[in-house]
Each structure stands twice: as C-alpha cells, then as structure tokens.
Amino acid sequence: MSVPFLDLQAATAELRSEIDGAVARVLASGWYVGGPEVSAFEEAFAGYSGAGHCVGVGNGLDALHLALRAMGVGPGDEVILASNGYIATVLAVSMVGATPVLVEPDPRTHNLDPELVEAAITPRTRVILPTHLYGQAADLDPLMEVARRHGLRLLEDAAQAHGARYKGRRIGGAGDAVAWSFYPSKNLGALGDGGAVTTNDPLIAQRIRTLGNYGSHRRYVNEVRGLNSRLDPMQAAILSVKLRHLDDWNRRRAAVAKRYLNALAGRGLELPFVPDWTEPAWHLFVVQSDAREALQRALANAGVETLIHYPIPPHRQQAYADLALPEGALPIADRLAGRVVSLPIGPHISDEQVGQVVTAVTALHRQAA
C-alpha cells in the first residue's frame, strides 16, 4: 500500500455531492465574479475565525501583499518576519517595496521568537509579520505587546493555520490583520487558488477590498492604483461547503498527530514541540532528523511519500541574493532547512497508512540502534 503525502482526491470525493450542489448553484446564479456566494463565505469565515471582517482575495500571497499595502507599508519601510518560512511571506514584503528583516525562529516551535524581535526593531520598522507555521500558533501575546509598545502593526500569516487556536481562541481575530491562503492543499483548501484577509479594522478591510478591485470602490472611479485580486465565486461556494467540515477534518489531523507523537517518541527523531497554549491545526507534521536523506529513502522504499518544508531558506534563495547576509547570519534557519522532513498527514490518511509510516520509521531506528 502506498501512502501519498496528502490525498486531495479523497477530500473532494467525500464532499462530492455537496460540492456539485455548490457548483451548480454558481452556474445557475449568473454571478461569475463577486456576488452573494463570495459575501456568504466572507461572512461565514469572519464568524469562524472571530474577526469582524473578511475580504476574499485571489490567493494567499495577495492577502499578505494587500494587507501590507492597506497598512500603508511601502519603500523605505521594514517588516520583521521569521527566517525559516515559506518564500511567499517574504515576497509579499518585497512586492510593496519594503525590506524584509529576517529574524530567527524559536528552534523548538519553528515560529518567530518574540525575544529576538525587539532587538531587530529600527526606526523604519512598520510591521511584525509572524507565520503560524505548520499550523501551530506563533506566540501572539508577547509579539502584540512588543508591537504595541513600538507603535507597530501586527500582520499574521495564517496560510497554514485554519482552525488553529492560541490560548483557546481561534487564529484570525486578534492582530491588526490576518492573511489566509486557500491553496488546495491547505486545511481549508479551494479547488484552485484563493485567499482572504480577516481583520477587526473596518478601514483595513475597506482598503483591501478597494486595492483588490483596481483601486476602485465605486465603478470607474479609481482612488488608488490597485490590482485585480478577488476571491472567485466558484471557489467561495466550494469553500463554504468545506468550512462546514473543517473542524471535523482538523480533529482527524489531530488524531493522526497524536498517534505519531506517541508511536515515534524515542525513535531517533526530534518530534514537533507543542506549547500548552496552542492547539495546532496540524497542517504539517514536521520532524527533525540528523540523517534526513536516509529517513526519506527508507520511507520511500516503504511506499511513504515525504516532503521538505522548506529545503532552502529565503536568505539562501537566488531571488534574495541582494540581502547579502554574511555566512552564518541565520544559523537556526540553516539548521532547520537541513533537518526538517514532513510526514504524511491529512483528514483522509487511514489508520493502516499511519501504521505503515510508523513501522517504516521504527524499522529504520532499529537498524540504526
């Protein structure tokens, strides 16, 4: 039996009749951009994440980029973010012409280390941009406290954290704005691209809506130079269906994570560390290994697909060669990039498949011992 990293077809199959109904509704509605399906999803997702407003946009990168623009971030400004994240978070900062300031994560949680953030603040800093990486909440309270003390905005990248909780509350309604991706493999994934920003600030919500609609609030009247980035009604209708199943699917992910955490303890891997103030959405189950290649090879031979999130940290990408950081400037990000490996997890992985992963890891450990 093979164990795919994530089975998206199974996810679609489980909800097929509901999705068919949603698609048929959109086809019959005549609304192919904007309209009631988008508004209904925005309202439902704002409610789900505990925010006053939700604005659908084209994808997660645009969600970050538009949120930064709505906060007035631009050339000459600095944005603080983690050195070990996905490239999109850094790209969003570059897209508005600001400078990304990479700060090391806490090596246990993989998330931005609040203690290091303060030291990175300069008179140019405008925003602190933590990612809830792998579906686990960043430590928001101290980050918010630092932001408040220095008059900065807090923008969260929650692309991997739909349904995750921080101190009992769902991510989405706390910071100045929270950016979401509905890329198909996300916990709440569309059947195509999609994204959103949730916020409690009506001004930020309105600016994002205007910016994503050519900079226009009233037809043919352009207040600012915007772009076209809107959540598609077909995707919104599908997301409304999937949102109703998100908690159930996240519970299934949590059960898989629990099983891995129990069965893989003491098997030579560094397992995810979960502080007691977070309930992760378990978007990814990321372990660390001193012998990653051997682990991936052994798992591949046992039919288990693994991935690396992420093999090259942003500061080592050619796209960011101009950061020109001295060698060894970001040792935690470098070390994590060399050690992390993601095991299969998702709402549709079977107990047998999880058992197959555990058996393969265990056999390798026995060989090595």
Ligand X SMILES: Cc1ncc(COP(=O)(O)O)c(C=O)c1O
Task: Using CB under 6 A, list all residues that contact ligand X.
Answer: 59-61, 85-86, 88-89, 131, 157, 159-160, 181, 183, 193, 195
Q: Measured from the CB of residue 92, what is the shortest distance to ligand X in angstroms?
A: 8
Residue (of 253, 305, 41) closest to 136 by Cα position: 253
Q: Measured from the CB of residue 181, what is the shortest distance to ligand X in angstroms?
A: 3
Q: Measured from the CB of residue 34, what is the shortest distance to ligand X in angstroms?
A: 19
Whole-Å CA distances, 59 to 64, 141, 216, 250, 290: 9, 27, 19, 22, 35
- Report the first-to-last Cα separation within the chain, whole angstroms: 27
Q: Measured from the CB of residue 264, what is the shortest distance to ligand X in angstroms?
A: 24
Q: Of 92 and 298, which CB lies nearer to ligand X in the complex structure?
A: 92
Q: Measured from the CB of residue 110, what is the shortest distance to ligand X in angstroms?
A: 11
Q: Measured from the CB of residue 332, what is the shortest distance to ligand X in angstroms?
A: 17
Residue (of 200, 249, 226) closest to 47 by Cα position: 200
- Which segments of the chain are extended strands (E)? 53-57, 78-82, 99-103, 125-129, 153-157, 165-166, 169-170, 177-181, 195-199, 216-218, 221-222, 278-279, 285-288, 340-343
Q: Of 178 and 332, which CB lies nearer to ligand X in the complex structure?
A: 178
Which residues, 6 or more positions from 105, have their beta carbon under 8 angstroms from its beta carbon?
82, 83, 84, 111, 112, 113, 133, 332, 333, 336
Q: Of 117 and 264, which CB lies nearer to ligand X in the complex structure?
A: 117
Q: Of 133 and 205, which CB lies nearer to ligand X in the complex structure?
A: 133
Evaluated on CA atoms 41, 236, 164, 61, the torsion sign reads negative
Number of H helices and number of E strands within the chain? 13, 14
Q: Measured from the CB of residue 259, what is the shortest distance to ligand X in angstroms?
A: 24
Q: Of 177 and 358, which CB lies nearer to ligand X in the complex structure?
A: 177
**At 283, is the secondary structure helix, strand, or coil?**
coil
Q: Of 11 and 360, which CB lies nearer to ligand X in the complex structure?
A: 11
Q: Of 89 and 356, which CB lies nearer to ligand X in the complex structure?
A: 89
Evaluated on CA atoms 209, 210, 211, 212, the torsion sign reads positive
| C-beta neighbour count of 79 within 10 angstroms | 27
Chain centre distance of CA 123:
28
Q: Of 162 and 267, which CB lies nearer to ligand X in the complex structure?
A: 162
* Residue closest to ligand X, measured at CB: 60
Amino acid identity at 62: D
Residue 4 in contact with residue 356, Cβ under 8 Å? no
Q: Measured from the CB of residue 19, what is the shortest distance to ligand X in angstroms?
A: 20
Residue (of 331, 318, 315) closest to 81 by Cα position: 315
